[in-house]
Amino acid sequence: MRFARVHGKDGVRVCAVDEHGTGREVRFADTGASVSDLRQIIDAGPRGVGRLEIGSRAVGGRLLAPLVPARNIFCVGRNYFEHAAEFAKSGFDATGSPDGQHVPEYPVVFTKPAASVIASGDVVDPHTDLTSALDYEGEIGVIVGRRASKVSRNEAMDYVWGYTLVNDVTARDLQRDHKQWFIGKSLDTFCPMGPWAVTADEIDIRDLRLQTRVNDELRQNASTSQMIFDVATIIETLSAGITLEPGDVIATGTPVGVGIGFDPPKYLTTGDQVVVSAPGLGELTNTIGPAVGRDRPQVAAGAELFVE
């Protein structure tokens, strides 16, 4: 089942998205309670979706990110073979080994703050006062469904509630200069997410086609089968010493074709449109806006997908 979160005349609520892209109101059939946060469904456990009643009334409003994690998004870097090679050649990887080995032995993990999450349709602030090397990274996001501690690889997929799309927007020069990835990937608006959250039973994560287009030009086109570390391995690695909580999001890495991989690099500029897509997960669409500045607050454009 696909879920979206919208802000309409009745406030914020979660709706089910049908095959026509229309949002329908949902509530828990046994209690009659409406749903305003996806974590209400996730926290209801494996049978949470089954407890839902889908109404006939269409739900409208401005599209929001399907959920905002309670803590940082867990992210995996250099997790596709060809991207690991293109990043190693770029000269911007300050974390690579001196012998030029670009395939990591273990998952490379960093985080993005939850405050950087925006929705499909929102505008990305290019922060031109801080960076001149703005890049995109289309990724699959894993939504954790159960508390996970010291989970083995064999049982890890039982802890996945579902999936969404993520654009790991990155300031390459900050990533290089600070010799770590947090600052360059964590500026305000640098984590577009959505448009929907989709339950795991509808997605074959073993071979899912992930694409990214910039101004209609296909830049990234790869299968999740090309990951160096699959989702089960990532969950096993993280949960070995960090307890994962329901509603946590894991961004699983980006494939070859990022802007820095071209010669010359194809960085994002004001007006560019970036669309990340995958079958069943929809299209995560964002435009690069003008620099915001201290005296001009960020305005989210939003996407009016559902008409009230």
Nearest alpha carbon to residue 157 among 241, 236, 41, 247: 236
pLDDT tens profile 37-51: 999 999 998 889 999
Beta strand pairing call for 217-223 and 160-167: unpaired
CATH value at residue 131: 3.90.850.10
Kindly indicate the confidence band of residue 297, based on its pLDDT and cuts at 50, 70 and 90: very low
Q: Residue 107 domain-assigned?
A: yes
User: Residue 304's closest CA among 54, 11, 7, 68?
Assistant: 7
Q: Are residues 170 and 48 in the same domain?
A: no
Residue 304 in domain: no
In which domain, by residue range, is 104 found? 73-288
**Amino acid residing at 188:** D
Q: Is the pLDDT of residue 199 over 50?
A: yes
% of the chain residues with pLDDT over 90? 79
Instruction: Please give the C-alpha separations between residue 276 and each of 77, 120, 196, 264, 291, in angstroms, as whole numbers.
Output: 17, 10, 12, 22, 22
Domain final residue pick, 20, 42, 64 = 64
Instruction: State which of 64, 83, 115 marks the end of a domain.
Output: 64
Residue 100 is predicted with a pLDDT of: 47
Tell which residue, 118, 70, 90, has the closest CA to residue 249: 70
Are 108 and 207 found together in one domain? yes
128 and 52 assigned to the same domain: no
Last residue of a domain, one of 45, 64, 83: 64
Are residues 77 and 29 part of one domain? no
Pairwise CA distance, residues 154 & 166, whole Å: 26
Between CA 122 and CA 117 the distance in angstroms is 10
Dihedral angle computed from the Cα positions of residues 161, 165, 171 and 175, in that order, rounded to the nearest 10 degrees: 40
Q: Examine the pLDDT at 90 and tell me if it is beyond 70.
A: no
Give 112-161 pLDDT, tens digit per residue. 999 999 999 999 999 999 999 999 999 999 999 999 999 999 999 999 99
pLDDT at res. 46: 85
Quick check: is 306 in a domain? no
Q: How confident is the model at residue 93, as a pLDDT?
A: 62
Q: Give me Rg for the CA atoms of the chain.
A: 19
Provide mean pLDDT across the span 67-81: 93
Tell whether 114 and 227 lie within a shared domain: yes
- Inside any domain, residue 308: no
pLDDT at 92: 61
Give the number of domains in the chain.
2
Cα dist. 90→45, 67, 79, 222, 256 in Å? 44, 34, 16, 20, 12
Q: Look over the chain and give the mean of its residue pLDDT values, rounded to a whole number.
A: 91
The yes-or-no verdict on residue 91 having pLDDT over 90 is no
- Based on the fold, state whether residues 37 and 118 are members of the same structural domain: no
- Over residues 221-270, the pLDDT tens digits come to 999 999 999 999 999 999 999 999 999 999 999 999 999 999 999 999 99
Q: 96 and 201: one domain?
A: yes
- Answer whether residue 56 shows pLDDT above 90: no
227's CB contacts (< 8 A; 6+ apart) are 79, 80, 252, 253
Assess if residue 307 is contained within a domain. no
C-alpha closest to that of 168 among 259, 272, 263 = 259
